Structure 1
């Protein structure tokens, strides 16, 4: 075995292509060769060097970690993916410390591609196939379905329970997607990412689409790492005793999560030991002036659940001040989070003051309080915290006419 890391090895490139290098030529071998190729302006060369770096132990791992600061977003995401897969504890900790947004497993880890029946499934690694119901039926007949890692099932149209009849046309049904996917669980054995919901990522409209129970997906797909739904909530989930070993990311984008007050309680009954990222769009929850929602959030706010959670998003809430105040009482989940996201809600200076005066808030990497109702003075005070604070825009921006009007959440019903 060659122990000289500066000598060319199996993974090294040699200047001059396939021809033997001249005696006076430069051999791009070892760790020095990787360093040189990381400086390349050709993205393919840089990505190859990032991958090769991990063959050189701790020195190579440090090079990959440094790439998280690269000017190329593609290089950053490629490095983040390698660190998550092969970087061990040191690589994951570096992601949390330097680039926590890249630490989490989300759709951005895959390249979206509209499924084309004439092309079929071609080289699916790293791709998220975008389908409607009819395309999903065709895709599931492909002989390479078992290689699919990610599916984005996009529904267009809104349920007539929430809008005047005829205002929108509905081309697919949420339950039809669920049935198709569950029936094909043997074909989709490698599925890691699944999105089902409204195709339009519009904060004011997504809750008009009626959703149903998604827990059968967790039961039938034990390798799933990301589950994301977008729309209105209809059927409560029925977790029963359900444990999922691999789910890392769970996202509910809905303004009707409390249409049934047991819904959040049932989500919190799921046993998800690997969960790192939980994002809930809470929507309207005041009934006749009373906050009926915060008490249902106490198990997650107090840190009782999901031991590996690093991102908590309690977004689009009309009781954001109450949530902020509860978060600053002990015990609190803030002590083990990297990112706390309270954006798109109704947070005022009162709730922000509670966060500002709570010492543990400084151990966060990022606090997101954008799209709320904070004053200029409070934004200035928050900027003095030791963590990164995202404050812009605000719904009551003094320099712009607010599109929110009164204090409403983004998914206000």
Structure 2
């Protein structure tokens, strides 16, 4: 495989939708905006105080407390957290969230780290120990996390979690292992952004084998193994993986998949049962991209935004 060149591709804008809802910004001290449909509320607080590496500074905590004093917190079912200060120096507000969990009794969806590249590069975002979140918010159905610096995770138990995603420029194998050792009987959607080794992404196919063998997560129907410099090896492993037969959606986007990897995928077990297959932003030739679409009639195949090696070599969509 051609060497992967590190090219920083960052998040340029905050997410506009989360958990199937439009995102609406919250402001500290202001009441909830009037909305006519379910939304995901977004809160952020950015300042230049970099002193506290254990979590957000007092300014953030005070702003969040003021917000919770102002709004009807029982109406907050989905929450998107942007900057909590400079996220490269301060852990995510996990401890603070757990402290105020009783004030958010109906929270079902949480995005921890919707932070753009001009605020902090994805691979620098500090997180923390995620396990207390599942204990503090037992109704949580959707959890999305961006950034893996200082991220810690032990095997989880949740009867309600349906979607779990880790966005990263380099996902540590220990996180994947902890997830695959978890008890998540309702999990329908799992997403790993595997990234590159130079930013901590040391996941190999062997770490994914317990998942691909089909013995984990009986409700799983949507799988994303995205942003991977080992995309060709993953495609080859998926060709004979028992799990694939019960998937409805498979997402291998944002990586360095080339024609040989896609060839291995097509040469394996049938994929025509899928509703959706995403190979977006990889390194397929125009001819092979067209062949994938032609060979999977009835499947919504996304082969848009294919890259070339002409200038930069191969690179995952998100690195630094």
Where does residue 237 of structure 1 map in the other structure?
A: 153
Which stretches in structure 1 are left out of the alignment for 5+ residues?
A: 1-105, 161-172
| RMSD value, Cα | 2.6
Q: Are positions 1:159 and 2:88 aligned together?
A: yes
Where does residue 145 of structure 1 map in the other structure?
A: 73
Equivalent pair of 2:19/2:78 in contact (CA under 8 Å): no
Where does residue 236 of structure 2 map in the other structure?
A: 325
State how far apart, in whole Å, the 2-side matches of 1:144 and 1:122 are: 11
1:292 Cα shift? 5.2
Q: Are positions 1:182 and 2:98 aligned together?
A: yes
Tell me which stretches of 4 or more aligned residues in structure 1 moved more than 6 Å: none
Q: Are positions 1:336 and 2:253 aligned together?
A: no
Say which SS state the counterpart of residue 132 (structure 1) adopts: strand
Deviations 1:47-70 (A, max 9, x none): xxxxxxxxxxxxxxxxxxxxxxxx
State how far apart, in whole Å, the 1-side matches of 2:19 and 2:108 are: 13
Q: Are positions 1:345 and 2:255 aligned together?
A: yes
Which stretches in structure 2 are left out of the alignment for 5+ residues?
A: 1-16, 46-59
Q: Are positions 1:411 and 2:318 aligned together?
A: yes
State how far apart, in whole Å, the 1-side matches of 2:216 and 2:239 are: 17
Equivalent pair of 2:42/2:81 in contact (CA under 8 Å): yes
Equivalent pair of 1:225/1:249 in contact (CA under 8 Å): yes
Which of 253, 256, 259 is matched with 2:170 structurally?
A: 256
The structure where helix makes up a greater share of residues is 1
Q: Which has the higher contact order (CA 8 A, sep 6+)?
A: 2
1:232 Cα shift? 3.1
Say which SS state the counterpart of residue 275 (structure 1) adopts: coil
State how far apart, in whole Å, the 1-side matches of 2:190 and 2:290 are: 28
TM-score by length of 2: 0.80
State how far apart, in whole Å, the 2-side matches of 1:180 and 1:352 are: 45
State how far apart, in whole Å, the 2-side matches of 1:409 and 1:256 are: 10
Where does residue 274 of structure 2 map in the other structure?
A: 364
Once the two structures are superposed, the pairs formed by residues 66-215 of structure 1 within 5 Å of their partners are 107-121=18-32, 126-133=38-45, 134=60, 135-142=63-70, 144-155=72-83, 157-159=86-88, 173-175=90-92, 177-200=93-116, 205-215=121-131
Equivalent pair of 1:121/1:139 in contact (CA under 8 Å): no
1:296 and 1:322, CA in 2 relative to 1: closer, same or farther beyond 3 A?
A: same
1:201 Cα shift? 6.9
Equivalent pair of 1:233/1:257 in contact (CA under 8 Å): no
| Paired positions, count | 282
Q: Are positions 1:268 and 2:164 aligned together?
A: no
Deviations 1:202-222 (A, max 9, x none): 9x9322212222121112111
